[in-house]
Amino acid sequence: MSVRTKLASKKEFRCAECGKGIVRPIAVGGRQANYRTLTLPVPAALEIPTCGNCGTEWINDSVARKLDTALEKEFRSRMRELVTVSLARLSELSISKASVERVLGLSQGYLSHLTTTGDKTPSEALASDLALLAQDPQRIRTIETLWKKLSGSKPDPAGVLGWLSTAA
């Protein structure tokens, strides 16, 4: 707690990692950070307290919040782009958003909402599903068959998998 307070209140301090360098807020391009499943560029304008000697980044709470906001925004835009191009591809093949929503069990209008409004981040699960469907639209039939095989009085999940592997 005391360390954090110190980091947050002082602009420059000696690096506790190497004991030699001075840590100063630095804004520079070419930095990257992992965010969920992606490695994303850190905005060049974002100041991160960085040791001039060893390069250790000292990310305090306020920097972490800014970094998180920037990365979330970039992550959302990339996931949304994948969703958009996948749906465009499917649309070229006359497969509507509505039929994709139906087969994936999504509520009606969900995919339109996802690609047009700014407040939702598509999950990796959904974005990758749509990309897989766009790569091989036959998979829509596969999924429909899968739901059929799971329906009725004697559902057979193992049989579904067996059927899938013989079909592949």
List 3, 27, 28, 54, residue binding Zn ion (CB under 5 A): 54
| Span 5-24, contacts to Zn ion by CB under 5 A | 15, 17-18, 21
* 59 DSSP 8-state letter: -
53 binds Zn ion (CB under 5 A): yes
Alpha helices per DSSP H over 38-137: 61-92, 97-104, 110-116, 124-135
What part of residues 99-158 is at the interface with Zn ion (CB under 5 A)?
A: none
Residue 71: Cβ-neighbour burial (10 angstroms; 0-12, 13-18, 19+): buried
Closest approach of Zn ion to the CB of residue 49, in Å: 11
Query: Would you say 32 and 40 are in contact if contact means Cβ atoms under 8 Å apart?
Result: yes
| Interface contacts to Zn ion, rule CB under 5 A | 15, 17-18, 21, 51, 53-54, 56
